[in-house]
Amino acid sequence: MSFESLGLLPELLRAIADQGYTEPTPIQLKAIPPVLARHDMMACAQTGTGKTAGFALPILQLLAPQQSSSPSPARHPIRALMLTPTRELAAQVEENVRAYAKYMSLRSAVVFGGVDIDPQIKALRAGVEILVATPGRLLDHVQQKTVNLSRVEILVLDEADRMLDMGFMPDIKRILSLLPAERQSLLFSATFSEDIKRLANQMLRTPVSIEVARRNAPADLVTHRMFEVDSEHKGALLAHLIKSRDMQQVLVFVRTKRDANRLMRELQRDGVPATAIHSDRTQGERMQALEEFKNGTMKVMVATDIAARGLDIEQLPFVINYELPYAAEDYIHRIGRTGRAGSPGEAISLVCGEEKRMLDDIERELKRKLERLPMPELATGRSRPPRHHEERSSSSEHHAPRSTARPAPARTAPVAVDGGFDFNKPYEPKAAPSSDADARAKIPLRPTMRRQTAALLGGLAKKPEL
Ligand code: AMP
Distance between CA atoms of residues 17 and 301, nearest Å: 29
Element spanning 330, H or E: helix 328-335
Cα dihedral 191→450→91→109 (10° resolution): 80
The number of the ligand 1 atom at minimal distance from the alpha carbon of 313 is 10
Long-range contacts of residues 20-26, Cβ cutoff 8 Å, at least 24 apart: 21/53, 24/50, 25/49, 25/50, 25/53, 25/54, 25/212, 25/341, 25/342, 26/212, 26/213
pLDDT in tens, the chain (466 residues): 899 999 999 999 999 999 998 999 989 999 999 999 999 999 988 777 889 999 999 999 999 999 999 999 999 999 999 999 988 899 999 999 999 999 999 999 999 998 999 999 999 999 999 999 999 999 999 999 999 999 999 999 999 988 988 889 999 999 999 999 999 999 999 877 888 989 999 999 999 999 886 544 435 578 899 999 999 999 999 999 999 999 989 999 999 889 999 999 999 998 999 999 887 777 788 888 888 998 889 999 999 887 776 666 766 889 999 999 988 878 887 887 776 555 678 899 999 999 999 999 999 888 888 999 998 887 654 434 333 333 333 333 223 333 333 333 333 333 222 223 333 333 233 333 333 232 222 222 233 333 333 333 233 333 333 3
The number of the ligand 1 atom at minimal distance from the alpha carbon of 314 is 10
The number of the ligand 1 atom at minimal distance from the alpha carbon of 52 is 3
Q: Kindly give the distance from the C-alpha atom of residue 286 to the centroid of ligand 1, in angstroms, as a whole number.
A: 22
Q: Kindly give the distance from the C-alpha atom of residue 406 to the centroid of ligand 1, in angstroms, as a whole number.
A: 54
The number of the ligand 1 atom at minimal distance from the alpha carbon of 315 is 10
Q: Kindly give the distance from the C-alpha atom of residue 51 to the centroid of ligand 1, in angstroms, as a whole number.
A: 7
Mutate to test the pocket of ligand 1, among 1, 21, 93 (most ligand atoms within 8 A of CB): 21
Q: Kindly give the distance from the C-alpha atom of residue 414 to the centroid of ligand 1, in angstroms, as a whole number.
A: 36
Q: Kindly give the distance from the C-alpha atom of residue 442 to the centroid of ligand 1, in angstroms, as a whole number.
A: 40
The number of the ligand 1 atom at minimal distance from the alpha carbon of 3 is 19
Half-sphere exposure of 117 (CA within 13 A, CB side): 16
Parallel, antiparallel or unpaired: strands 421-422 and 416-417: antiparallel
Mutate to test the pocket of ligand 1, among 13, 27, 52, 82 (most ligand atoms within 8 A of CB): 52
Contact between 378 and 233 under an 8 Å Cβ cutoff? The reply is yes
First-last CA distance in the chain: 46
Q: Kindly give the distance from the C-alpha atom of residue 48 to the centroid of ligand 1, in angstroms, as a whole number.
A: 6
Tell me the domains of the chain and their CATH numbers.
Answer: 4-211 (3.40.50.300), 218-376 (3.40.50.300)
The number of the ligand 1 atom at minimal distance from the alpha carbon of 49 is 2
Residue nearest to atom 19 of ligand 1 (CA): 24
Confidence at residue 336, expressed as pLDDT on a 0 to 100 scale: 73
Residues within a 6 A CB radius of ligand 1: 21, 24-25, 28, 47-53, 312, 314, 340-341
3-state secondary structure of 450: helix
Contact between 188 and 156 under an 8 Å Cβ cutoff? The reply is yes
Q: Kindly give the distance from the C-alpha atom of residue 54 to the centroid of ligand 1, in angstroms, as a whole number.
A: 9
Distance between CA atoms of residues 349 and 135, nearest Å: 35
Mutate to test the pocket of ligand 1, among 59, 95, 340 (most ligand atoms within 8 A of CB): 340
Q: Kindly give the distance from the C-alpha atom of residue 12 to the centroid of ligand 1, in angstroms, as a whole number.
A: 15
